[in-house]
Amino acid sequence: MITVSVCIGSACHKRGSYAILNRFKQLVQQHGAEDKVNVAPVFCLGECANGVSVRIDDQLVLGMCEDNVDATWEQLVLPRIG
Amino acid sequence: MALLFDTHVQKMKYNVLREVAKLAYRDELTPQRIMEIAPRIIPEGKPMFRCCIYKERAIINERVSMALGGEEDGTVVGVLPIACDECPVDGIQVSNACRGCLAHRCKDNCPKDAISIIDHKAVIDKEKCIECGKCLSVCPYSAIVKHTRPCVNACKPQAIHIDQNTEKAVIDKEKCISCGACVYQCPFGAITDKSDITKVISLIRDSNLNRDYHVYAVVAPSMASQYPNAVPEQVVAGIKALGFHAVVEAAWGADMVAWLEAQELVEKGFLTSSCCPAFVNYINRHFPSLKEHVSHNLSPMAQMAKWLHETDENCHVVFIGPCIAKKAETKYTDAGRYVDYTITFEEMQAMFSARGIDVTTMHKAELDNASFYGRIFARCGGLAEAVTEALKEQGVSDEQFKLNAVSCNGIAECKTALFKKQKGILKENFIEGMACVNGCIGGPACLSHSSKNFAQVDAYGKSSMENTIADAIRVMQILNPALDVKGDGEVEKEIEEIEHTK
């Protein structure tokens, strides 16, 4: 099981973390990966000035926006779930 | 820095809290260092407000002990015995203005025949007098006065009496609702709230810069009106600079509460609010027959903290607000499962000062999760407005349930509404109870009690990015399906739509 944590602290919230969270959830559904990937909100990853922050297991991904969720999924999530 | 406090009593309390916080930060809370606080605050010289500096210092020592947590006796408010002593307790008195007039309405109106005219002056027989105040209201010279201690006057639940032997105020634990009105109203600051400031400082320090666990600050929306010379975003930056992992709005919890309260109202048809812990205490202690009508929702503070625990298993929560009753809620109710400590704005300012933080010069940090409706919980009437909005957003029709709320501004109005409910003559179906006049912005530990605060809270509400309660809480629904913001299946439909447009 891998965890995708999307920061919903104030700064990320303002930059659209809800849409990113939702997109990740959609991707999980599309790939039928509900038992492999857990998408969850998290508070403050400490990178408030760098766009929306996401943590995939222990890897921090900064500068997330709605447009790069799919690419991130392909590069960083898919390889881990095989 | 401009004058921070409304009263000199608050300033004195703050001076003590700041010194205690400084020692706590340096980890020097030794008996020796603690003893040095009083002479630092009351230096050699003429006394400022008591007979001598030694008495003033003795009172400071009492304040220090409250700042260190006071006695663990099930209460959060206590009387400082040395500080409480000299207020008159003689009740109704005839002053020099009495002319012993021919009309002597005082004598004629006294139901107990306690007044006689002796040597051209009214004299009250204290054995007979029942302090009803009739004489006082009919005297054309206003020559009869009633001395009531300010604490007794402030305590609407009538939990304070004066011990006849010691002449000191005594708080009845069974009647006290921890609202803190006496704390704010005592002109000598002889009643004060117990502080967890040193515990909060330790909690933050022991987190090893939030590496071992995360310490969250949940801050009340009344924060918006505390500093006339700083914007809320600067206060948030200040709180973060104290070492908190993240600052979260209690108003966001209020959004959740409004949402759930609307659902509960539709189901039950009548409720009283449960946001204000002093109001809940008031019902429990003074109107126990109405207990069943209290909303089962957690308070916004506890709701928010509970949600933080759901998102972060390594989490500790400190609530920061204007409220003394929240300390009791945190210590002695279920809310304590989610909130470690409550501190007040006074205590927050003491921590700022001990750390050399001046919020007026801070940068602006962001704080934005809650909606307008969650934020206006801070002022009286806000809760009812938010519930109205939540009903609308949930598509509840007037036929299903039409809200008819009574917003009680202060405990006296709460008493009237609860009394009517008990008698079965209340026409409204929702009681919004606020123990403090004006709501939380009138809280006893607010730094500012200005008349502008209402508008300031509304302005803070309007600055929110989220337009509706549903928008604000949609992210919470991911963990808590009870907060389903769109009804069954609607969220999935929305996802499909987004997908389609892509």
Closest CA to A36 of A52, A22, A57, A55: A57
Contact B312 A48 (CB under 8 A): no
Which CA distances in Å does B41 have to B6, B241, B410?
19, 26, 35
Exposure letters B255-292 (e unless 16+ CB within 10 A, then b)? bbbbbbbbbbbeeeeebbbbbbbbbbbbbebbbeebee
The amino acid that residue B439 corresponds to is G
All residues of chain B having their beta carbon less than 8 Å from the beta carbon of residue A29 are: 495
Q: Does A25 touch chain B (CB under 8 A)?
A: yes
Residues 39-78 of A with CB under 8 A from B: 39-44, 48
d(CA B177, CA B162): 18
On the 0-12 / 13-18 / 19+ scale of CB atoms within 10 A, A39 is buried
Domain limits, chain B: 8-86+156-193, 91-148, 197-483
Residue B367: both structure tokens together: 């704080």
d(CA B375, CA B391): 17
pTM of the model: 0.90
Contact B475 A17 (CB under 8 A): yes
Nearest to B311 among A10, A39, A42 (CB): A42
**Residue B435 · residue B313 · CB < 8 Å:** no
- pLDDT score recorded for residue B496: 53
- In eight-state DSSP terms, residue B333 is S
Per-residue pLDDT of chain B (502 residues; tens, 9 = 90+): 456 888 899 999 999 999 999 999 999 999 999 999 999 999 999 998 899 999 999 999 999 999 999 999 999 999 999 999 878 877 899 999 999 999 999 999 999 999 999 999 999 999 999 989 999 999 999 999 988 899 999 999 999 999 988 889 999 999 999 999 999 999 999 999 999 999 999 999 999 999 999 999 999 999 999 998 999 999 999 999 999 999 999 999 999 999 999 999 999 999 999 999 999 999 999 999 999 999 999 999 999 999 999 889 999 999 999 999 999 999 999 999 999 999 999 999 999 999 999 999 999 998 889 999 999 999 999 999 999 999 999 999 999 999 999 999 999 999 999 999 999 999 999 999 999 999 999 999 999 998 889 999 999 999 998 889 999 998 887 666 666 654 444 444 544 554 555 4
Nearest to A13 among B368, B495, B498 (CB): B368
In this structure, what are the phi and psi dihedrals at residue B205, rounded to the nearest 5 degrees? -60, -45
Exposure letters B173-183 (e unless 16+ CB within 10 A, then b)? eebbbbbbbbb
Instruction: Report helix, strand or coil for B218.
Output: strand
Instruction: Report helix, strand or coil for B191.
Output: strand
On the 0-12 / 13-18 / 19+ scale of CB atoms within 10 A, A50 is middle
Q: Residue B320 forms beta bridges with which residues? A: B219, B343
d(CA B447, CA B441): 10
Please state which of the four CATH numbers 3.90.700.10, 3.30.450.20, 3.30.70.20, 3.40.50.10490 is assigned to the domain occupying B91-148. Answer: 3.30.70.20
Question: What is the separation, in whole angstroms, between the first and last Cα of chain B?
Answer: 53
Count Cα neighbours of B181 within 13 Å in the Cβ-side half-sphere.
27
Count Cα neighbours of B237 within 13 Å in the Cβ-side half-sphere.
16
Among all residues of chain A, which has the CA nearest to that of B465? A14
Question: What is the separation, in whole angstroms, between the first and last Cα of chain A?
Answer: 12
Query: Residue B27 contacts by C-beta under 8 Å, 6 or more apart in sequence?
Result: B205
d(CA B188, CA B83): 7
Q: Does A9 touch chain B (CB under 8 A)?
A: yes
> β-pairing, B246-249 with B214-219?
parallel
Exposure letters A4-14 (e unless 16+ CB within 10 A, then b)? bbbbbbbbbbe
Domain CATH code at residue A17: 3.40.30.10
d(CA A66, CA B281): 47
Q: Does A8 touch chain B (CB under 8 A)?
A: yes
d(CA B349, CA B354): 9
Q: Which domain holds residue A77?
A: 2-81
Cβ-Cβ contacts under 8 Å between A and B: the total is 56
d(CA B253, CA B371): 10
Cβ atoms < 10 Å from Cβ of B207: 18
